[in-house]
Amino acid sequence: MTIRTGGRILIDNLVAQGCDRIFCVPGESYLAALDALHDTPQIHLVVCRQEGGVAYAAEADGKLTGRPGIAFVTRGPGATNAAIGVHTAMQDSTPMLLLIGDVARGDRDREAFQEIDFTAMFTPLAKWAARIDDAVRLPEYIARAYATAMSGRPGPVVLALPEDMLRDEVEAADRPKVPCPAQAADPLGLATLMDLLKDACAPIAIVGGAGWGPAAAHSFAAFAARIGLPIAAAFRRQDAVANDCPVYAGNLGYGPNPKLVQRVKDADLILAVGARLGEATTDGYQLITPDHPGQTLVHVHPDPNELGRVYRTDLPICADMREFSELAESWEDEVIHFDSGPKAHAEWIEWSTATPNGATLDLGLVATHMRETLPADSIICNGAGNFSGWWHRYWHYAACPTQLAPTNGSMGYGMPAGVAAALRHPDRQVIVLAGDGDFLMNGQELATAVRYGCKMLILVIDNGSYGTIRMHQERDYPGRIAGTDLVNPDFAALARAYGAWSEPIETTEAFAPALARAREETGVALLHLKTDVEQIAPALTLSALKTVPAHPASKAIVDLYERNAQGWLEDRGTDLHERPWLDRFTASLGSGASILDIGCGTGEPIARYFIERGFAVTGVDSSPSLVAIAADRIPGGEWVVQDMRALDLRRRFDALLAWHSFFHLAPEDQRAMFARFAAHANPGALLMFTSGPEVGESIGGWRGEPLYHGSLDSEEYRALLTANGFTLVENAIQDPERGGAMVWLARAEA
């Protein structure tokens, strides 16, 4: 064996493991390794401008290749800057190796210059963290690092390298390339899954995550399409299957299609393949609860430690994603074909089709034009922020790898990820999406992109705000803006200063020609999109959020009616002054049609009127005493005690009525009700509810106590109806001479 420095042994063993690119910010702590790289043409050394960019780029490279992306940084400040990429790789299940030049062995535990105990620091963040004190063992550690990063649930490994160890001259035996382990799928487990599918009525698959790749994407899509199984993508895993797959149903996470959300709620069998079913995918573990009563969960994952970790798992299958998907595709025992897959795909097509929102620069139309103009296999790279919501909704992703987006919601990711993508796939269109706050967290990597001749398109969406936080701020503390406004540079001028082509855009009409000009550029092109913060999300405006906190009386409604149930029966009487609207509501209903009366009270006189006309009425109210009176006086109905804010009857109706009940809810509760309306509406069902005539709160009185009424803006009601699949039929003020309520009549999509 030849005597080599530790730095030379390190680089030789990275080459042996297939490493062809390292992202770094140089440091004096690993000069011996840099010296070895000088004579190693097999490895492309990419010098970035900040260690956060280094780590993000390496993480993205790991996503693109399936083998560890390599980051190299120096001790102390360098390593702490790079920690964000390690956190991202862990939550995204990405193979990655972070190498850190460390203090000399003899200076350890003296708080030497920039000294940190990296094993202690990174152990909670990584799959494995270690320090290599003996250069002879470098091949062993590097091979183990690769094996650990790729096995089971992929993830990051961190190795600290003392600078004097890298200078040691020793003999060491190199290790051969570590193969990526693949656990074969158990045919017995798959046979059990097929039996469960045969018994299922409403199954759904949720896919993407650990170990997912192009082969798994192709095979699983073929299997699901063959049996009509709807496929939902886990959060920011929208390239798990090509979105033109005939059973692709859309993505879960933030701002999903309400129809997809309901489809998951209604599912009797959930097949999770690769996904961890984390907080974002499951909407805070509420869409699918850890115990998921009434639902069977089949969880397929390459790491046995993930199976049963959070969720009660009815059928755990530990398998490589490709192995499982290929076995499923080749399975010959046919399962009954479901029609829900094509229906779910049609719902997604409708959801992902943008309509003009009236904004001067309409991002929905921008995303649509990009989708129609740019190559289908473009790689979309984005960090975190509301800006990404337009592309998550309106872009149609090809099969992986076409989406580089952090599932840990990490800002500043898009630019360095774009560098990694452009270097790894110079023949493909790379698109970086960044908000103004997001971009400036790693915008310095523009210099890296220009230096290495990257061809990429960058869109900076500038609304002068940390938009996501502003949205939550307006919702929780309306009008009290603190810490979320931004004063930005001229991003187009900044890009030119770095050597990129750029152009500002302020209108929808200006976007298409500007994009055409950008595409003619051979290097980095940046479009600075100046948008209005008012349109804070694809289906939400700031104005709609600016409602004052609900009056305390809004929390006393249930108790007020419960204590005065008999009084309500007496005071309400039998006068049916709302009859003209009730007749309009039921005019198109056939005999025996089902009506859900939400906030039915005693059933007098509205529910009784419906029952006497031959309709099947289910009345729901939060007051047990009111429901008891209804059951006693009107035995022909079905009466249920349930707070409408938690309405969950697990069935659908031909018509839904919330007459003079819905407007007792606080604004946030009213917004949430529309998804519940949709969840209980048959195709084509009618919905009628009442609100106040104008936005705001009104505190009336009844039996000597305050009685709360609240209303949203009319435009927000219209938007909520549309977003939840209802078409407005009519709305008007009922009995305006008596200061009456606004009546809303709508119909669910057929």
DSSP 492-518: HHHHHHHT-EEEEE-SHHHHHHHHHHH
Letter for the amino acid at 255? G
Tell which CATH architecture fits domain 363-540.
3-Layer(aba) Sandwich (3.40)
Quick one: DSSP state of residue 98?
A: E
Can you tell me the mean pLDDT for 588-615? Answer: 95
Compute the distance between CA of residue 352 and CA of residue 696 in angstroms, rounded to an integer.
32
Can you tell me the mean pLDDT for 229-235? Answer: 97
Q: Which long-range contacts (CB under 8 A, 24 or more apart) does 643-651 make?
A: 643/558, 644/598, 644/599, 644/620, 644/673, 644/676, 645/669, 645/672, 645/673, 647/598, 647/620, 647/673, 647/676, 647/679, 647/680, 648/676, 648/679, 649/596, 649/618, 649/620, 649/680, 650/266, 650/294, 651/680
Looking at residue 549, its pLDDT comes to 57
Q: Which CATH class is domain 187-350?
A: alpha beta
Number of alpha helices (DSSP H) and beta strands (DSSP E) in the chain: 28, 29
Is the confidence at residue 548, as pLDDT, over 90? Answer: no
Looking at residue 252, its pLDDT comes to 96
Is the confidence at residue 733, as pLDDT, over 60? Answer: yes
For residue 737, what pLDDT band results from cuts at 50, 70 and 90? very low
457 contact partners, CB below 8 Å, separation of at least 6: 429, 430, 431, 432, 515, 518, 519, 525, 526, 527
Can you tell me the mean pLDDT for 220-249? Answer: 96
Least confident of 166-180, 298-312, 698-712: 698-712
Q: What is the mean pLDDT of the chain?
A: 93
Quick count: other Cβ atoms within 10 Å of Cβ 482?
7
> Contact, 439 vs 495, CB < 8 A?
no
- 82-115 pLDDT, tens per residue? 999 999 999 999 999 999 999 999 888 899 888 8
> In this structure, what token pair is assigned to residue 461?
């969406």
Torsion of CA 128, 131, 137, 138, to 10 degrees: 80
First to last CA, the chain: 76
- 615-643 pLDDT, tens per residue? 999 999 999 999 999 999 999 999 999 99
- 404-463 pLDDT, tens per residue? 999 999 999 999 999 999 999 999 999 999 999 999 999 999 999 999 999 999 999 999
> In this structure, what token pair is assigned to residue 570?
């007496």
Q: Say if 4-170 and 187-350 have the same CATH topology.
A: yes
Q: What's the topology of domain 4-170? A: Rossmann fold (3.40.50)
The helix-helix angle for 6-16 and 138-150 (nearest 10°) equals 40
Can you tell me the mean pLDDT for 480-496? Answer: 94
Please count the CA atoms within 13 angstroms of the CA of 406 that sit on its side-chain side. Answer: 32
704 contact partners, CB below 8 Å, separation of at least 6: none
Looking at residue 738, its pLDDT comes to 43
Compute the distance between CA of residue 129 and CA of residue 188 in angstroms, rounded to an integer.
37
The helix-helix angle for 714-723 and 667-679 (nearest 10°) equals 30
- 371-386 pLDDT, tens per residue? 999 999 999 999 999 9
Q: What percent of the chain has pLDDT over 70?
A: 98
Is the confidence at residue 553, as pLDDT, over 80? Answer: no
- How far does CA 525 lie from the centroid of its chain? 28
Domain 547-748 has CATH 3.40.50.150: yes
Looking at residue 341, its pLDDT comes to 96
Residue 208, class by beta-carbon neighbours within 10 Å (0-12 exposed, 13-18 middle, 19+ buried)? buried
Is the confidence at residue 540, as pLDDT, over 60? Answer: yes
Is the confidence at residue 539, as pLDDT, over 90? Answer: no
For residue 253, what pLDDT band results from cuts at 50, 70 and 90? very high
Compute the distance between CA of residue 455 and CA of residue 431 in angstroms, rounded to an integer.
9
Residue 49, class by beta-carbon neighbours within 10 Å (0-12 exposed, 13-18 middle, 19+ buried)? middle
For residue 321, what pLDDT band results from cuts at 50, 70 and 90? very high
Q: Which residue has the tokens 């999903």?
A: 256
Supply φ then ψ for residue 95, to 5 degrees.
-70, 130
Compute the distance between CA of residue 361 and CA of residue 693 in angstroms, rounded to an integer.
31
Letter for the amino acid at 261? V
Is the confidence at residue 546, as pLDDT, over 70? Answer: no
The residues spanned by each domain of the chain are 4-170, 187-350, 363-540, 547-748
Looking at residue 444, its pLDDT comes to 96
Letter for the amino acid at 283? D
Greater model confidence, 394 or 182:
394
Is the confidence at residue 345, as pLDDT, over 90? Answer: yes
Is the confidence at residue 547, as pLDDT, over 60? Answer: no
For residue 740, what pLDDT band results from cuts at 50, 70 and 90? low
- 108-132 pLDDT, tens per residue? 889 988 889 999 999 999 999 999 9
Compute the distance between CA of residue 204 and CA of residue 297 in angstroms, rounded to an integer.
10
Quick count: other Cβ atoms within 10 Å of Cβ 583?
11
DSSP 507-551: SHHHHHHHHHHHHT-SSEEEEEEE--TTS-BTTB-HHHH--PPPP
Least confident of 308-322, 569-583, 626-640, 722-736: 722-736
Can you tell me the mean pLDDT for 172-197? Answer: 93
